[in-house]
Amino acid sequence: MTNIIKPKIWLSSPHMGEEEFKFVKEAFDTNWIAPLGPNVNGFEQDLCNYTGCTYSAALSSGTAAIHLSLILLGVKEGDEVICSSFTFSASANPILYLKANPVFVDSEKLAWNMNPEFLEAAILDRIAKNKKPKAIIIVHLYGMPAEMNNVMGIANKYEIPVIEDAAEALGSSYNGKPLGSFGVMGILSFNGNKIITTSGGGALISDNKNYIEKARFLSTQARDNAPHYQHSEIGYNYRMSNVCAGIGRGQIKVLDQRVKQRRDNFKFYENEIGRFPGIDFQVEKMGCFSNRWLTTIIIDPQKTGGITREDLRIAMVNENIECRPLWKPMHLQPVFEKYPFYGDHTSEKLFENGLCLPSGSNLSSESRLRIINCFKSVFNNG
């Protein structure tokens, strides 16, 4: 142990490529700083090319994209919307912006995403209560694909539209098809900690032209076609700026490289710490390809000889290594605990024993060594 403060190792920090600045400079040189312009159009085209979706709208955040997607599906006060419980609060918050009610569904045990059995049970029970859900928000957690075959099968059977929250999953695919392209709409995030970033931003993607055109309209204050400012609907200021989109155009060029680097982090952890007893990883099932945005582990104290997630987390924090517990499920959050929940509490166990490890695509080999040494010190003392 030493008292010298070592440089911080971040969970996931921005990682610029070579061309971001060129696009940003172009925006400055042409004084095309705001709001829309060639970078926004170019970035939207890039997103379509990458995801295979026909249309996209670049927005100010992933949360804004979820909010708009719910509005586009006609979600109103008192409606119910099904959502994965094991996720970041931004997946569910927009349901409340509309005074609608979330219905939370638990995780399955291997990939930790929405359990299709509980999804169907939830739908049947809500229909029996005469509250058929208006939409399903399905999350691909930490970049890992949800079971889209089953989920889409169930959603189609009951004719409920699916919004894919692919905020963490750009670059991941299911049976070779990019995530975000399965539902009626997909949402992406370019927040600072995501696999690529525009410093802050998001997008809505879809094959439905009407949805994307309406999203563009609503995200620019819903201005009717008139020489003066005329409004027949309530609008939002949710568009991405031309400067941010310039960063995005550069970032998308290195996205495949970033996926490779993150998957390489995962391989490294799997080789180095997979051999310690009681440590398990999020499972990439058949047909799934994860961008491994974050490498996440479950620590089973019954198999580690009593070492807990907290023992490991605190040891890391003391070494100035950023580590976080897995998401606290939404049905346990004070703001959401009164809403219905369907499941067997799998996500609660994941939350109790799970840890996110530093996973940046710029994680250096010295950093990796410090992390592994920290693991070794905990396990050898344990």
Place of tokens 């379509």: 48
Specify the residue, 185 or 378, whose C-beta has the smaller distance to ligand PLP.
185
Residue 236: CB minimum distance to ligand PLP, A: 13
Cα gap 104→343, rounded to integer Å = 9
- State the burial class of residue 272 (Cβ atoms within 10 Å of its Cβ: 0-12, 13-18, 19+): middle
87 versus 265: smaller Cβ distance to ligand PLP: 87
**Which of 192/305 has CB closer to ligand PLP?**
192
Residue 295 belongs to what H/E stretch? strand 295-299
- Are residues 234 and 222 in contact, defined by beta-carbon separation less than 8 angstroms? yes
Output helix, strand, coil percentages for the chain, rounded to the nearest 5.
40, 15, 45
Least separation, in Å, of the C-beta of 290 and ligand PLP? 14
What's the rounded Cα separation, in Å, for the pair 197 and 63?
Answer: 15
| Residue facing ligand PLP at closest CB distance | 62
CB 90 within 8 A of CB 120: no
Nearest-approach distance from CB 132 to ligand PLP, in angstroms: 24
Closest CB 203 distance from ligand PLP, rounded Å: 9
Binding site for ligand PLP (CB under 6 A): 61-63, 87-88, 90-91, 139, 165, 167-168, 189, 191, 202
Shortest distance in whole angstroms from residue 80 CB to ligand PLP: 19
d(CA 34, CA 325): 38
Between 95 and 374, CB nearer to ligand PLP: 95
Nearest to ligand PLP of 170, 279 (CB atom): 170
